[in-house]
Amino acid sequence: MKQITLYLVSLLFWTAAYANRGPVPTPAPAGSAATASKAVAKVGAVRFQFKNVVSDQQDSILVIFDRYDHTGAGVVYQLFATDAEHGITIPAIPAGKYYVTIECRGVHRDHMETLVTIKSKKSEKVQLKLRESEVFSKDNVVIPAYHPSFADMTILKSGK
């Protein structure tokens, strides 16, 4: 038993003596210009412009960005409101290629998926066409007249 314990302890010391610490990241000084410029250089923006909008009413838009190379999901997962020009602008997106899922949650109930490439220090513009839709108004509801025919009804026997 003493030999096994001595063997394990010597193996532990030998491993500790030859172990490498590995790469250790050196933190940049807080507020340094190098850190800020690298962060700014690798981001871009995208503007989604919607066509075929029904009214001047703002819609809520759910936007989900998933990385094209499957290394990260949900970079931007947020609800946005369209502006006066019927579009949304999303700033500060990391540069790269993305699958974008867009869901309209207001008057329009569209679901679109597209591929967008964000370049650093650039602003992309994506034109999206919405399907036809109309605003609900209780004054415009038409209920069709229904006239039942009692001759077409079937009578089932009740079991006694």
What is the model's pLDDT at position 115? 93
> What is the predicted pLDDT for the residue at 116?
92
- Least Cα distance to 58 among 24, 27, 82 occurs for 82
More confident residue, 33 or 132: 132
State pLDDT tens for residues 47-67. 988 887 666 666 778 888 888
According to the model, what pLDDT value does residue 58 have?
65
Does residue 23 lie in a domain region? no
Flag whether 105 is in a domain. Answer: yes
Compute the chain's Rg from CA coordinates.
31
Q: Amino acid identity of 156?
A: L
With 0-12 / 13-18 / 19 or more C-beta atoms within 10 angstroms meaning exposed / middle / buried, residue 101 is middle
Domain count along the chain: 1
In a domain, 107, yes or no: yes
In a domain, 139, yes or no: no
Q: Is residue 141 part of a domain?
A: no
Look at residue 60 and tell me if it is in a domain.
Answer: yes
Q: What pLDDT, on a 0 to 100 scale, did the predictor assign at position 113?
A: 92
pLDDT of residue 33: 55
What is the mean pLDDT of the segment spanning 100-108? Answer: 83
Q: What share of the chain is helix, strand, coil (3-state, %, to 5)?
A: 20, 35, 45
55 occurs within a structural domain: yes
Q: Look at residue 156 and tell me whether its pLDDT is greater than 90.
A: no
Distance CA 72, CA 69 (A): 8
Q: What is the pLDDT of residue 57?
A: 65
Provide the residue range defining the domain that includes 97.
Answer: 44-126
- Say if 137 falls within a structural domain: no
Looking at residue 88, what is its pLDDT? Answer: 87
- Round the average pLDDT of the chain to a whole number and report it: 78
Say yes or no to pLDDT of 75 above 70.
no
Q: What is the CATH number of the domain that holds 104?
A: 2.60.40.10
Contact 128, 102 (CB under 8 A): yes
Higher pLDDT, 29 or 125: 125
CA distance 124 to 18: 52
How far, CA to CA in Å, does 30 sit from each of 27, 33, 34, 42? 8, 9, 10, 19
